[in-house]
Amino acid sequence: GQNIDQPTEMTATEGAIVQINCTYQTSGFNGLFWYQQHAGEAPTFLSYNVLDGLEEKGRFSSFLSRSKGYSYLLLKELQMKDSASYLCAVRREDDSWGKLQFGAGTQVVVTP
């Protein structure tokens, strides 16, 4: 089986930084994805990590530690449009065809 845990909600101020943590337990690991989902819309791909370390993409960065079963998504210079749900998804080694296991999502609320 597999558990993916992430906080339910986080609130931050425009211009600030927010870090969304994701922990997972899996019998095998073959990649971790972060998606952003605005209310009523489809998830959009943000990042992919399969090796330990930090991946940076503009204002967004994602970190992975496979030994700790831990990842975080860092959002810098927050903008109002960043208010959305952020989904952590893990692919197991046995599911390399592409099946993703999603967490419940973290709702980020950006305030003025």
Partner 1 sequence: DAGVTQSPTHLIKTRGQQVTLRCSPKSGHDTVSWYQQALGQGPQFIFQYYEEEERQRGNFPDRFSGHQFPNYSSELNVNALLLGDSALYLCASSLGNSGRRGGQETQYFGPGTRLLVL
Shortest Å, Cβ 4 to partner 1: 8
For 42, residues 6+ apart whose C-beta sits below 8 A from its C-beta are: none
Q: What value does the CA radius of gyration of the chain take, rounded to a whole number of Å? A: 14
Nearer CB in complex with partner 1: 44/79 = 44
Alpha carbons 15 and 35: distance in angstroms, whole number? 21
Nearer CB in complex with partner 1: 13/25 = 25
Shortest Å, Cβ 24 to partner 1: 12
Shortest Å, Cβ 29 to partner 1: 12
Q: Is 111 exposed, middle or buried (0-12, 13-18, 19+ CB in 10 A)?
A: exposed
Nearer CB in complex with partner 1: 41/77 = 41
The HSE-up count of residue 13 (CA atoms within 13 Å, CB side) is 1
DSSP class per residue in 63-76:
EEETTTTEEEEEE-
The footprint of partner 1 (CB under 8 A) covers 4, 30-31, 33, 35, 41-45, 48, 50, 87, 89, 95-105
Nearer CB in complex with partner 1: 17/45 = 45
Shortest Å, Cβ 27 to partner 1: 16
